Amino acid sequence: MHWPVHAFIGKGMSEMKRIRMLIGGDWIGGDGDEWLPVVNPSDGTQIAEIVNGTAEHVDAAVRAASEAFESPEWKAWKPHERGNLLIDLARHIREHAEEWAELECRDVGKPMSQARADAEAAARYFEFYGGAADKVMGDTIPIEDGLLNATVLEPMGVTAHIIPWNYPLQIIARSVGAALATGNAIVVKSAEDTPMTAHALAEWFAESPLPKGIYNHVTGLGSGAGAALSAHPGINQITFTGSVPTGISVMKSAAENVVPVTLELGGKSPNIVFADADEEKTLDGVVRAIIQNAGQTCSAGSRLLVQEDYKEEFLSKLKARFGELQVGRGVDDKDIGPILNKRQFDRIMERIEEAKAQGKLISGGHPVKVEGGEGGHYIAPTIIDGLDHDCPAAQEEIFGPVLSVFTFSDAEDAIRLANDTEYGLVAGVWTKDVDVAHTVASRVKAGQVFINNYGAGGGIQMPFGGYKKSGIGREKGFIALRNYVQVKNIAVKFGI
């Protein structure tokens, strides 16, 4: 299944002024609607505007998805045809990788090299789930002679995908790829701050042979369109990435309709550094884990636990590394880009000031002025030592380039500290001692544990999700396909 590609990305970004919603194959949004500005975080300039979607818009999108899901046209699509469509989308992203990366860079503010990595990751998700589409299989179960018992995996129906602002292209790809591969109809609600690549994907799907209504994109505020989507009785499954309070609200809404949820709600992830660790690799890993996307990453390594005999030496070298980092506009591809907006910036700076009053500032901790980015908000990468482990900076997700440092004596102490938060998303363990590495990995309460590396969420094939308040369920890899199917058991009695 192949077709010409004429989506927005291939036409040039300058053409897009207004982002309309895709509902039932139609572009929705006009002068009678409320429009919200979309701003480039690097310089504060407006780059687009979106429809502030309403409950009525959401209802129309869900109804369109439901009708399309039940249509004979969609039921006639074979699994491998769904897979071919996703693989063609992966090919399209790679063919226009620089344009996708530039769009994500302008939208989110992240450095171009990180945006390029996001574009490739999105292509890999669509490729991976495209290849998996015809490999989602049930089982036969031996019961007794004369009884053929089998399970089949059927699509959930209409799945809702509520996307965060920090990695829109990647996170749409990882959940929509799995949902479409398994035959569901889709309603995406993009973040109001970063809808650009979400819209470009909607344009691609609109011009593909996909039946109208199978892929829908609604825009607007989370309190409006997002809340209406999570509460809609026509939704059969919800995938949400975002904050714990909003995740709780989504889960409560889903409970009213007895709808399953997949929630990824952030973390306060530790890098645990033992005295025998490979110093250069560990320094590189610790730095990358906290500066990616200016620390605006759910899996950021925001806590550093260092063995006491090694702490001063390691911290001195880490401070030197931080001092070499450059802050700048996304398009200039420095190490650290801008904070999303003033609200996020103020929140991060408030936490930094609290931490400075309670602990010892090692590096950073102040705003940065960037030439050409006067309308943006930038923060120097920050290291703070000497905090009590129960203070807010040690326990709460700051979502910025802020690293809190703590000391442990031995493996037991490290495990205790690592687990002493309400989160459990990712952990890194740095040591050459295989016994220590595996012992710590087996006892840290985190959905992903990296030994002598730190994947910041990991690869396409790696199951990703958290313990405790980091969420429910797993995304990525084959296991994520189970989020979007339900099991039907069929028992056939036979005999002569």
Catalytic residues, which ones?
A: 264
DSSP secondary structure string, 223-253? IIIIHHHHH-TT--EEEEES-HHHHHHHHHH
- For residue 167, which of 241, 220, 217, 221 has the smallest C-alpha distance? 241
Residue 219 CA to residue 203 CA, distance in Å, equals: 14
Cβ atoms of 273 and 436 closer than 8 Å: no
Cβ atoms of 216 and 460 closer than 8 Å: no
Cβ atoms of 267 and 424 closer than 8 Å: yes
> Across-strand partners of 30?
none
- For residue 373, which of 336, 329, 312 has the smallest C-alpha distance? 329
Which positions ≥6 away from 343 have C-beta within 8 Å?
A: none
Tell me the HSE value of 375 on the side-chain side, using a 13 A CA sphere. Answer: 9
φ/ψ bin of 108: left (φ > 0), alpha (ψ from -120 to 50), beta (otherwise): alpha
Assign 342 to helix, strand or coil.
Answer: helix
Cβ atoms of 119 and 177 closer than 8 Å: no
Cβ atoms of 163 and 198 closer than 8 Å: yes
Residue 491 CA from chain centroid, whole number: 40
Q: Which two tokens stand for residue 362?
A: 């090692």
What angle, rounded to 10 degrees, do the helices at 79-95 and 97-108 form?
80
> Across-strand partners of 262?
239
Which positions ≥6 away from 482 have C-beta within 8 Å?
A: none
Which positions ≥6 away from 101 have C-beta within 8 Å?
A: 112, 115, 116, 118, 119
> Beta-carbon neighbour count of residue 458 at 10 Å?
18
Assign 263 to helix, strand or coil.
Answer: strand
